[in-house]
Structure 1
Amino acid sequence: MSANAKSTVTVLGLGAMGSAIAERLRRTGHTTTVWNRTAAKTRPHVEAGSAAAPTVADAVRASDLVLVVLLDHASVREHLDPVAAELRGRTVVNLVTTTPNQARETAAWAAEEGIAYVDGAIMATPDMIGGPGSRLLYSGDEAAYTSARSALETLGTADFEGADAGLASLKDMALLSALDLMFSGYVQAIAMMRTVGVPAVETAREVQAWLEPMLSYGPGLAAIIDGGTYDTGGQSVDFSRAGQASLITASREQGISAALLEPHKKLLDELAATGRGDSDWLRIVDLLTISK
């Protein structure tokens, strides 16, 4: 099948994301078959033009391309392992959020079974699928990705990260870590300002206005880390420790826990205790690597 051909696509799992994906595929002219553990969830998709399969095996046999949008890694293996024979000769794209090693584990299983496997990560919410802000990451079997690309590109910007099946998940987890820590900062700020009666939405607007110009400094900070010298004359560990201590004290004075702030201070303290207080604070990145 060429990269530009319309494909037959099966979608396994019709939660919010699976349903959005199935709907988008229909709208872009792909023949779709759907399966869900709770069969009633297939009804609106059938009414909209999809075929519903009574079993996973039937669903797999219906299509060249199988998109997996189940709950978690365990459910992926629970439902795919028994239909390995039916999956041979087809392309499987796993869009379930998994860890990098879980993705590699499934890829190794697929290779042993003769199944073309691509691991995917969805950097979007269900309502974004097919829109300009939707981005999906893929890694694994590049030939399989190429064969599925026309369908995958209907869901959003498609980025192939490499042959290592864990790379899409790794980038997904890294970017989600940044998002999680950023929004944790929103929560900390909101909690502090609520103590004097400021509504959460007002503080959120203030945080957004503050962070938007600050984000432009990110590439410069990354360049310091890539340089690896940490002697740029920028913000030092000792300076950052003092600032972080003030944030912690201010939170506690307002009766707010500093549990979200304390891990950063702990890393800075470790650097200072080992004689690196004059280094750029970004040296904490070296403390994040743990022994395996």
Structure 2
Amino acid sequence: MGSSTSILGLGAMGSAIAARLRETGHATTVWNRTAAKAAPHVAAGSKGAATVAEAAAASDVILVVLLDHASVREHLDPHIAELKGKVVVNLVTTTPDQARETAAWAADHGIRYVDGAIMAVPSMIGEPHARLLYSGDEHAYNTVLPLLETLGTAEYTGKDPGLASLKDMALLAAMDLMFLGYVQAIAMMRTTGTPAVQTAGEVEAWLAAMLPHGRELAAIVDQGTYDTGGQSVDFDRFGIQSLITASREQGISAQFLEPHQKLLEELAATGHGDSDWIRIIERLTIH
């Protein structure tokens, strides 16, 4: 058994990881379904593997950077014998339950499994601001931590294999909803001929001033009483209705805003109009 690290998958992210490991003096073995993608890496100093089995047999640590959860299981399931006793770090974007499913499969077959989530684009790999989240087998994580730290800032989130994915998805959800806000603002102002770049700059400045208040809202959630006397559900629902009306007056859809209004109306209808508006979080639980 060799001492190299095997990288399965040589898309943009897998290629960036393989290149970074070579740069930092690590021996690497690479495999990709389309063999031509491995050629530049072999030319740069990696060892090429013709099959997943060969790549798994070559290394103590296997980094999986394939397309999705289905491709992970498709390529790992047939190679239990070669993977047994080794550390598999899955860097594919998966849901929390998919991560737990793969971790259970790995445990059943004597594979040391760490689930990972990359909060970075390929060009950021190797930089401190590349944030990589990990969860699962803590001993396995600590064993390969020096390797993982070459890729960016490593953060162990806990033994539950789904935690890294959950935090990744939660933060991505926040980002997605934030950028939808950019789109709504740009769409509204564009009706007056305002360049999108100008509106984006104003949104950025406004959000930078507002973001610190998010911790105040979080403290209300942790307190759990929703009775601080702050901005109420009734106040907020009329405010959101104004945003919806203003959008429509400009000929812009309010589809991003309407779900917010619906949840506030539900709270008011159940007698919580005087509560802090952040009580809306209680409406997000699926019963």
Query: Which TM class, normalised by the smaller chain length?
Result: over 0.9
TM-score for the superposition, normalised by structure 2:
0.98
Secondary structure of 2:117's match?
A: strand
Q: Does 1:227 align with 2:230?
A: no
Secondary structure, counterpart of 1:219 in structure 2: helix
1:144-183 alignment, distance < 5 Å: 144-183=140-179
2:36 corresponds, among 13, 35, 40, to: 40
TM-superposed deviation, 1:44: 1.3
Instruction: Tell me the equivalent position of 1:64.
Output: 60
Q: Secondary structure at the match of 1:132?
A: coil
Superposition misfits of 4+ residues, deviation over 2 angstroms: none
Q: How far apart are the structure 1 equivalents of 2:211 and 2:41?
A: 41
| 2:268 aligned to which of 266, 272, 275 | 272
Q: How far off its partner does 1:132 sit?
A: 2.2
Q: Report the equivalent of 2:193.
A: 197
Task: Give, in whole Å, the separation in 1 of the partners of 2:173 and 2:241.
Answer: 23
Is residue 280 of structure 2 the alignment partner of residue 284 of structure 1?
yes
Deviation digits for residues 233-271 of structure 1, max 9, x if unmatched?
Answer: 110000000110011011111111110111111110000
Equivalent position of 2:79 in the other structure: 83
Match of 1:121, SS state, is strand
Structure 2 unaligned residues grouped into runs of 5+: none
Q: Unaligned 5+ residue runs, structure 1?
A: 1-6
Q: Which residue of 2 aligns with 1:4?
A: none
Q: Tell me how far 1:46 sits from its aligned partner.
A: 1.1
Residue 93 of structure 1 corresponds to which residue in structure 2?
89
- Amino acid corresponding to residue 290 of structure 1 in structure 2: I
Using the TM superposition, give the Cα deviation of residue 52 of structure 1 relative to its aligned residue in structure 2, in angstroms: 1.1
Amino acid at match of 1:127: S
Summarize deviations over 1:129-165 as a string: whole Å, max 9, x none: 1112101110000111011101101111111111110
TM-score of the aligned structures, taking structure 1 as reference length = 0.96
Percent identical across equivalent pairs? 74
Residue 59 of structure 2 aligns to a residue whose secondary structure is coil
Residue in 2 that maps onto 1:250: 246
Deviations 1:96-121 (A, max 9, x none): 00000000000000001110000000
Report the Cα offset of residue 43 of structure 1. Answer: 1.3
Match of 2:20 in 1: 24
**Which residue of 200, 205, 208 maps to 1:212?**
208
Count of matched residue positions in the alignment of Structure 1 and Structure 2: 285
Q: CA RMSD in A?
A: 0.8
Aligned residue type for 2:219: A
Quote the Cα distance in structure 1 between the aligned partners of 2:153 and 2:128. Answer: 8
Helix, strand or coil: the match of 1:47? helix
